[in-house]
């Protein structure tokens, strides 16, 4: 929901994942995940207060989404467009790729192909090496 300090966020995430308590290993793993989310722009950290950067795909700026889509592709191996969109949704922290994310993903793919940042071969895409 709203802003939380890091310890409260870790405890809440651990609870949501089904853990009774957050031991040192779980805390470390969740803290690493929070840092990753901050680096990706999914979570904002201002003065130790954590909050979601956006609640829906529509709240992100298009240039940010393009950068994150390319980053979510990982290596230069070929991947199906649909799988790339699902991976992108997970990369941004969404549980599933609903219609809005699927539509946005298709649009991003087309735009990135036009820009020459990814290439396609039928239903397959990859980062331009």
| Sign of the alpha-carbon dihedral angle for 29, 32, 36, 38 | positive
- C-alpha 46/C-alpha 49 separation (Å) is 5
Would you give per-residue pLDDT tens digits along the chain (129 residues)? 689 999 999 999 899 889 988 899 999 999 999 999 898 888 999 888 999 888 889 999 999 999 999 999 988 699 999 999 999 999 988 888 899 999 999 999 999 999 999 999 999 999 998
Q: Please give the DSSP secondary-structure letter assigned to residue 53.
A: S
Rounded to a whole number of angstroms, the distance between the first and last alpha carbons of the chain is 39
Cα 46 to chain centroid distance, Å, stands at 19
| Cβ-based neighbour number of residue 29 at 10 Å | 14
- Nearest CA to 9 out of 40, 45, 41, 39 is that of 45
Give 88: exposed, middle or buried? Use CB within 10 Å, 0-12, 13-18, 19+.
buried
């Amino acid at each position: 929901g709203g802003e939380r300090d890091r310890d409260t966020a870790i405890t809440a995430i651990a609870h949501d994942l089904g853990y009774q308590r957050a031991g040192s290993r779980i805390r470390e793993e969740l803290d690493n995940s929070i840092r990753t989310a901050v680096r990706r722009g999914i979570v904002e950290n201002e003065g130790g207060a954590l909050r979601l950067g956006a609640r829906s795909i529509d709240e992100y700026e298009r240039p940010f989404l393009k950068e994150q889509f390319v980053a979510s592709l990982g290596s230069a191996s070929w991947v199906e467009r649909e799988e790339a969109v699902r991976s992108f949704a997970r990369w941004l922290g969404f549980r599933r790729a609903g219609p809005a994310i699927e539509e946005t993903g298709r649009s991003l793919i087309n735009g990135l192909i036009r820009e020459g940042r990814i290439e396609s071969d039928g239903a397959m895409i990859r980062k331009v090496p």
